[in-house]
Amino acid sequence: MATTLCAKLLPKLVWTPLTQSVRHGSKAVTRHRKAVHILRQKLLAVTEYIPPSHAIPRGAYPDKNSQVQQDSGYVLLLKKSLKKLFEENKMIAVVQNSASSAEDMTLLKHRLFKHGITVKFIPNQVTRSFLKDSIYSNMAPLFIGPTVLFVSKEPKVNGMLSALRSSPQMTLLGACIDNKLLSVEGIINYSKLPSMTVVQGELVSGLTMLTSRTTLLLQHHPGHLCALLQQHIKQQSPETIAEGDSTAQEAK
Amino acid sequence: MFDVTVPETNMAASKKATVVLKAVKKIMVQFSPFESNVRSTREFLAIVGSEKARSTNMNCEVLTKVKHDKSEPIVDVTFSDGERLLMKGANLTGREMLSAFQSRCIAKDPQAQAAKKK
């Protein structure tokens, strides 16, 4: 612009001045990212926006990010199978195995299968989320670390204990037998219990003991019975006389 | 395209997870599984009782006692020179227990390790 003006004002000049001050500065809109001036940089740094921390007190509203995670299809399948397991099987034992080898596992599985016990591997997270919704929520603290489930329809505790004794690194933690949670001591006591028929027999014999004794008595000769009854009366009467004496003495 | 870098801490943990039990005579782990403070003890047991760890020393016994009396989880280690290490796992993490145990193991058995490295 200046050069054109000069050209018009001094049209007769052939010689253009040596130094020509060009007064157009750098452009504002550039194709590259223009370097921000240090003063502007400082200003922007000082005037940055700092949002207020905790405008809403914590706990006043539920967390935005804590949406209930929907279970994937596989997890739902596992949960269904778990539910079936708990319904069908009377005994469910939880065992921790600190990395036994594959051979040991197959041997153990074989030994347990002979007693009708199957071995199940289920991820702990799935079992825990299943248990906290069901009635077996007290079992949940057992499922930490590498755990295996032993399930069987009939509670064959002796077989399980003998199989576990042979593998040293399997640790029995607890079991749910007939919907009752048992610890290790409880399991051992359960294994020492006699079978159901034996227990019923003992109960019946205990209840009928008195009646059987009376029948035995009645089956004796009647003369013998009379003598027994007379003896009984004699024994009764001195006791009453003795009681009368003691009460008389107390009254005195 | 972005590069995924494996965090170094995990790598370090997995490398040191193989425990050398050369200088150990007996390890007794005792806990009550229905308590809530047994996680570290169980993790320790899982690492120490694994086949890899036990294969380093076949004479070392690893005993586990499962109790139900609300007692504290305890790890009792007897070394081959008679020293005993008692770790109460109620307020410790698994990693702390493992590092304490391993540092003592390595201190006890430096000669064999140095010979191996050479």
Q: Would the CB atoms of A98 and B38 count as touching at under 8 Å?
A: no
- How many CB atoms are located within 10 Å of the residue A127 CB? 22
A234 or B38, greater pLDDT: A234
CA distance B68 to chain A (A): 7
Q: Which CATH architecture has domain B21-92?
A: 3-Layer(aba) Sandwich (3.40)
Return mean pLDDT, chain A. Answer: 84
Beta-bridged to residue A82, according to DSSP, are none
- Cβ pair B64:A171 closer than 8 A: yes
Report H helices in chain B: 8-15, 39-48, 51-56, 94-108, 110-117
Tokens of A86: 């708990």
- Of the pLDDT bands very low, low, confident and very high (cuts 50, 70, 90), residue B7 is very low
Q: How far is CA B2 from CA A233, B5, B11, B12, in A?
A: 106, 10, 21, 24
- Where are the extended beta strands (E) located within chain A? 91-97, 117-120, 147-152, 170-177, 180-182
Per-residue pLDDT reduced to its tens digit, B53-93: 878 888 888 888 888 877 778 888 888 888 888 888 888 88
How far is residue A174's CA from residue B42's CA, in Å, rounded to a whole number?
14
Question: In this predicted structure, what is the pLDDT of residue B6?
Answer: 40
Residue A132, SS3? helix
Tell me which residues of chain A, numbers 138 to 177, contact chain B at a CB-CB cutoff of 8 Å: 138, 141-142, 144-146, 168-169, 171-174
Give the side-chain half-sphere CA count within 13 A for A183.
Answer: 13
Q: A99 in contact with B at a CB cutoff of 8 Å? A: yes
* Residue A58, number of CB atoms within 10 A of its CB: 7
Say yes or no for a CB contact (<8 Å) between A98 and B46. yes
User: What SS3 state is found at A59?
Assistant: coil
pLDDT, average across residues A133-148: 86
Does position B10 have pLDDT exceeding 60, yes or no? no
- CATH 3.30.70.1730 correct for A74-191: yes
CB contact under 8 Å between A142 and B34, yes or no, is yes
Domain ranges of chain A: 74-191
* DSSP structure class, residue A16: P
User: What is the structure's pLDDT at A42?
Assistant: 97
